[in-house]
Amino acid sequence: MVDYSEVSCERELIMLIEYDNAYAALLPYFDRLWEVVNGGWGDWSGEIPAKVRAIATSRTRACMVNDFMRTRGSRLAETDPTVKAIISKQMFVLSISPPGFNGCIGLRLKKLTEDGFSKNQPTMQVQDFREQQTLPGIKADFHLEVGYVVDKFGSALNSIDLVCPSGEGIYWKAEIVPNGANQNVASLFSQPEDAVMKEVKVRKKSEKSAGEENEGGG
């Protein structure tokens, strides 16, 4: 059995979950989390008239996509007893209690930069969330962010990422990628791609970049 209790302590009061532990715990949820984020973007693209999208500012677009993601996240919580949708001081968090995992993982749904940083107002609550501090009203032992990255024109998705924030920095990040349908979820790590069955693939950005460089180098 996987020992999910292994965590890293970067400094006093900050407990960071390791990527492997987060991956194992969230494995049954990756496909649905991808659907929440990708569906939120799809709602913006498909439900909002083109004329409105054309004049909307990036802030307006981000707010509306976030509302769509919140709605989909709330629906997910309604169908899964291990997921709770929490709103505290306008912060929306999905609190997930995976079976066999010692604790809860709190997920914020956000717009992210290519580097994995969330777009938000720097409130004390946001700062505490990113610093992995205990937040009143939010049941979560570990804080992660899952969100979408858009192209430079703001017209298409580049990726859907899972990020572990650590104060003003990032401890790790991974990409959630759709691949196939009605299949199991599996990691790409140490397995040939053609031997893996998956609904979504999760891989660290560093590994993705290294692979692309190798392909480019012939």
pLDDT digits (tens, 9 = 90+) for 81-128: 999 999 998 899 999 999 999 999 999 999 998 888 887 677 899 989
8 Å CB contact between 185 and 27 = yes
In a domain, 1, yes or no: no
Query: 36 is in which domain, residue-wise?
Result: 7-216
Examine residue 191 and state whether it is found in any structural domain, yes or no: yes
Total number of domains constituting the chain = 1
**97 domain-assigned:** yes
Q: Is residue 2 part of a domain?
A: no
Query: Is 100 within the bounds of a domain?
Result: yes
> Is 125 part of a structural domain of the chain?
yes
How far is it, in rounded angstroms, from Cα 9 to Cα 17?
Answer: 9
pTM for the structure as a whole: 0.75
pLDDT at 22 over 70: yes
Q: Which of 44, 29, 132, 122 is nearest to 77 (CA)?
A: 29
Q: How far is CA 10 from CA 16, 20, 21, 102, 105, in A?
A: 7, 17, 16, 20, 18
**Cα angle 87, 92, 95; round to 5:** 85
User: How do residues 185-214 score in pLDDT, each as one tens digit?
Assistant: 333 333 333 332 233 455 555 555 545 555
Q: Is pLDDT at 67 greater than 90 in this prediction?
A: yes
